[in-house]
Amino acid sequence: MEEEEKQESPPPTDDSPQQDAQLNVPSTDEPIVPAVETSAIINPTSEIKDMEVHHHAHDPAAPHHKKNWKSYFWEFLMLFLAVFCGFLAEYQLEHKIERDRAKELARSFYEELKSDSIAISEKSRNRIMLENSIQYMKEYFKDSSFSKFSKQFVIHFHRTFAFNAPTLFEPKRIILEQLKNSGSLRYFKNDELQKLIGELTVVIDNINVRREMEAAYRQSYIIPFLIKHFDSDFEETTRKLGAQNLIDFINEYEKNNTEIPFKLRKSEQIDTDEARNMLSVFAITYRGTRTIQFQKYIEVNAALLDELRKQYHLQ
């Protein structure tokens, strides 16, 4: 009922002085709200958006940020330095591998040359021994009889006609061929070293040619003479005495007082002048190999050993 009475009461008119007074008196039940300008509430997010745009304009990570030439330059410089440092590291590693490989090959080559140096010295001494025996046989065939032979004749005869293997020099070429065929020779940067290796190859080839020449001469003249005049009974006796080979037996035979009968078969058919000429050519061939090819090899071998010692500190 009370609500109905309130609804039925007429609203106050604008001319009512009481209404004007009530409008100007603030209510104590509600808080006073300050006046807000209309322009401030039209778009309340505009200030926030303006701040975000301003912030993005200075953010280097922003998707639309434009780099200047200095940024590009520093990026290029850093990339270039990274690639260049990687290249240097790879180059140094490859260079170290080549140095290690060169030293390993140099050491193996040095040992090979050192072994051949000892071998050729021994072969040279044996050739001098052979040349002395040939000279003895030439003098003997000149005016001596074939009825009885001294122990000295037996020794020189066998050294002249059967003393072959102890005089042959066959250089080792394992490392040398590896250097040439595999391209490993490039590891040796020293020009003198490469030049000496080239000279060594030529000298070895010349020695091989001379060895083939000597073998051909033996096959054509020395072996036929042995087949016709060799005393097989003497060789049979040496085997019964325990000789492993004839040359070693002769070397021991020279040192002891034992004497074994020896004869030349069909000695009456020996043409002494022809035999002496055969031995002269034989001596010239062997002496030429020793004084020219062997001597050249000894010189090149010594120079190579010396250069390898200097370049790679080998002992």
Question: pLDDT value at position 94?
Answer: 62
pLDDT above 80: residue 102: no
**Confidence class for position 38, pLDDT limits 50, 70, 90:** very low
d(CA 156, CA 134): 7
The reported pTM is 0.70
**Confidence class for position 73, pLDDT limits 50, 70, 90:** confident
pLDDT above 60: residue 270: yes
Computed over every residue of the chain, the mean pLDDT equals 81
**Confidence class for position 95, pLDDT limits 50, 70, 90:** low
Please state which of the ranges 20-29, 183-192, 261-270 shows the lowest mean pLDDT.
20-29
d(CA 284, CA 125): 16
39 vs 92, which has greater pLDDT? 92
142 vs 1, which has greater pLDDT? 142
Distance from the first to the final alpha carbon of the chain: 132
Q: State both tokens at 146.
A: 């074939």
Most confident residue range from 31-40, 45-54, 93-102: 93-102
Between helices 246-255 and 232-240, what is the axis angle to 10°? 80
Please state which of the ranges 49-53, 267-271, 290-294 shows the lowest mean pLDDT.
49-53
